[in-house]
Amino acid sequence: MTKITEEMVRSYFPQLSEIKNQEYAKKAAEIWVEAFENSSWEDIADAQFATRAPGVALVKHTESVTANALMIARNTVEKYGYEIDTDILILAAVLHDVCKLEEMEMSDQGSKTSRKSSLGKIYQHGFLSGYYTQKYGLPNEVTGLVVAHSGQSKVIPRSIEGMILYYADMMDADIHFVQAGTTLCLETH
């Protein structure tokens, strides 16, 4: 297994540098390192975003969701003057799918493909992300957002940050699902 470091995680997700409380940013990077070490992936670049969208790296999806969420947040503040906690939003966006490192594994078809792991078959998507945010002492708001980000969750996001994360994630997912010619989130959530 190729090792990843906190510095590597920070390079994948440059938005972590924008967080005011850098101790939280450090913890987010540590979570990625631990989750990868607990996974069956040999290389972080092989970890996939979804079984239905082969070839879409989890790291790229996560960075895209984070960048889009931050862009939406900034536009919302500019246009409407609403208060948005971008620290909470960035942390939740960076960590929303960290659980997929353990929920998924490479399929028999090789790199750029995935299937659900034994944990992925029994845990609701987002559970492990929530576990890690609590283990590392991140704010409860971050835990709430990573648990609620999935359409599979019975928890509905009730904050502006939660809405932004949910729709940024669903949009990025559906773009890949359109490209792959498979079922969209819009059809199932």
Q: Can you give the pTM of this predicted structure? A: 0.96
Question: What is the distance, to the nearest Å, from the Cα of residue 53 to the centroid of all Cα atoms in its chain?
Answer: 15
What is the structure's pLDDT at 113?
86
d(CA 39, CA 105): 8
Name the more confident of 1 and 38.
38
Architecture of domain 6-188: Orthogonal Bundle (1.10)
What is the structure's pLDDT at 152?
79
* Mean pLDDT of all residues in 28-51: 96
Which helix H or strand E contains 5, and what residues bound it? none
d(CA 105, CA 41): 6
Q: How confident is the model at residue 126 (pLDDT cuts 50, 70, 90)?
A: very high
Q: Is the pLDDT at 188 greater than 90, yes or no? A: no
Q: Where are the domains of the chain?
A: 6-188
d(CA 100, CA 119): 10
Of 24-33, 60-69, 111-120, 126-135, minimum mean pLDDT range: 111-120
Model confidence pLDDT, tens digit, residues 53-112: 999 999 999 999 999 999 999 999 999 999 999 999 999 999 999 999 999 999 988 788
Percent of the chain residues past pLDDT 90, beyond the cut: 87
d(CA 80, CA 47): 38
- What contacts 75, CB < 8 A, 6 or more positions away? none
